[in-house]
A and B are shown apart, each in its own frame.
Chain A
Amino acid sequence: MAVGPDAAVVGDLHGLLALGVLIAAATLVAAVGRRVGIPTVPLYVLGGVLVGPHVAGAVGLPSIAPAEVLTLAEVGVVLLLFFLGLEFSIDRLIDARRKLSAAAAVDLFVNFPVGVALGLLFGLGPLGAFLVGGIVYISSSAVITKSLVDLGWIADPEAEPVLGTLVAEDLVIAVYLALAVALVAGGSPVDALPRIAVALGFLIAVAAAAQLLAPRLAPYLGTSDEDLVVRTLAVALVVSGLALAVGASEAVAGFFVGVGVGATPLHDRVADRIAPLRDAFAVVFFAWVGLNTDPVAVAGVAAFVLAAAALSGPTKVISGAVGGRLYDLSPRRSLRTGLALVARGEFSLIIAALAATSPDPTIARVIPAFAVGYVLVMAFAGTLAMSEADRIERLLGVADG
């Protein structure tokens, strides 16, 4: 994620005050929305929209330019992916491979093509379609995990295929982002090839270091909590910053640093101590996405958003339900697996932030607006699908007893 096209916009609030107002707006909107059961991720985006140049700025109120908080938003992305890496375990994936790989393949080969088809249908070309494919494919770990815990589904058998699918998606998204960053930068294939090679080579080196060196380097992260937090953050930011510098995905670099730390005995303590940091910086990222969002542009792609929601909501339910069946769940529990996977969120927004950096003006304009509208609809629809699961089961006639 680098500076998007809106970065040229000049806001009236700067530095500390800009950051404070942004976070305050995000949490205020989240507090209001939570009362009516809307998940927080899209609400943070909405908070950012309100104080951004396109709303507050447009009516002459003090507003915040996205560039003011860009670096902190990037920290949010790195920490989001760092956490995915931390929870990611190759061994766990291998243990569950027979059921999981089939479920994950169904998930990928149903939902990704749906997004690609939508992108082509709405005239975004092959690269745009590839990006829409990712936005539509990837479910939201944050929204879904929270709903699973809130509704008590976490203790039910469907939690296993749901969380398993999310982990498999994490691995896909790491590979996907590595490719997407290289592709979005554009240029002629001859120019692009060495750059892509350097970028992918860097990520492969980080991944290898995570696997081979992490256990030996872990003791240097320190023994006190303070050292652990500060040094882990230092490693994550230096590595992901280097990734950006060589044109690789900083998010994927963060993911592999997380995988490395996750493979050491420090895993639990790091997870405990860094989680609050991730929560805070992730809010900045979501709100930053909002700053970049012009509500008029979102309204302009409303047909696209609604078509995508109408198509990709049901396909996710179907692919998830097939996944549930592959885990030998009853029809009712399989349906619930599908309903649980509907919500899209943070990763779709990360892809959108990437799209905003595209030199292709159509992609840079349409896809971020589409992603924000789509995530708003799908995060809410997914949460609703879970809380109303009983009614949906009866409607579809799969309620047991």
Chain B
Amino acid sequence: MTVYESDLPGVGKKHEIELHGDERLVVVTHNTGKREVFRRADADSDAEKLFELPDGLARTVGTVLEGAYFQPIATENIDTVLGGDALIEWYEVPDDSELAGETIEAADVRQRTGASIIAVEHGDEVTPNPDPGAGVHAGDTVVVIGSREEVDSFHATFIASAGDGDEGHRDDGGDDGAGTVRD
């Protein structure tokens, strides 16, 4: 892939990025900061404008395309996949969960689901590695570790059974930005 840079006196700068064959993506950066993005199917065809962005937005979109930009969206559960099958997941304890107002031992978390609670967040206070006798309250956030199956079982027993069932995994459409280029 080659990127060609040229000056546009009085306007700004132009970058042409080789895509497949003769197809090129042309980015015109105006002195005002505005970016215009064009696509040219081959050397003979005229550039067709895809979109334009003001300076600030262009930078944000740029970091998203680069993969460096990450802004977690607020979801009820956020998981982190470790190696193999293991994962760590965050859950907020619903009001009517069996876990609410119980100790970890009394709820028999480990025996019933196979998953372990590795931290409890109560308001601003975080208890890492809680004792089995530690209490969990409605509205606390618990951090759970286990295999996918165990974590799902924890979710089914203590979280979803409380009736909200809101799965918020973050497999959202990360391809949107590239989609305009590919067509």
Residues of A at the B interface (CB closer than 8 Å) are: 83, 87-89, 92, 141, 145, 148-149, 152-156, 159-160, 163-164, 166-167, 268, 271-272, 275, 330, 332, 400-401
Contact = CB atoms under 8 A, between A and B. Distances in A.
Interface in B21-45: 26, 28, 30-32, 36, 38, 40, 44
Interface of B: 6-11, 14, 26, 28, 30-32, 36, 38, 40, 44, 46-49
A141 B10 contact: yes
Contacts of B11: 145, 148-149, 154, 163
B8 A163 contact: yes
Given A268-B31, A330-B44, A400-B44, A154 B14 contact: yes
Given A152-B47, A154-B14, A330-B44, A166 B28 contact: no
Contact of B9 (A149, A163, A272, A332): A163
Contacts, number: 59
A169 to B, nearest CB: 11
Nearest to A158: B46
A153 B14 CA distance: 12
Contacts of B8: 154, 159, 163
A218 B2 CA distance: 36
A152 B49 contact: yes
B44 A401 contact: yes
A275 B38 CA distance: 26
A145 B32 CA distance: 14
Nearest to B32: A272
A332 B45 CA distance: 10
Contact of A155 (B9, B14, B31, B32): B14
Contacts of B31: 268, 271-272
B40 A155 contact: yes
Contacts of A149: 11, 30
B16 to A, nearest CB: 8
A159 B46 contact: no
Contacts of B14: 154-155, 159
Contacts of B46: 152-153, 156
Nearest to A389: B46
29 contacts: A83-B10, A87-B9, A88-B9, A89-B9, A92-B9, A141-B10, A145-B10, A148-B11, A152-B48, A152-B49, A153-B46, A154-B8, A154-B11, A154-B14, A154-B28, A154-B36, A155-B38, A155-B49, A156-B47, A159-B8, A159-B14, A163-B9, A166-B9, A166-B10, A167-B9, A272-B32, A330-B44, A400-B44, A401-B44
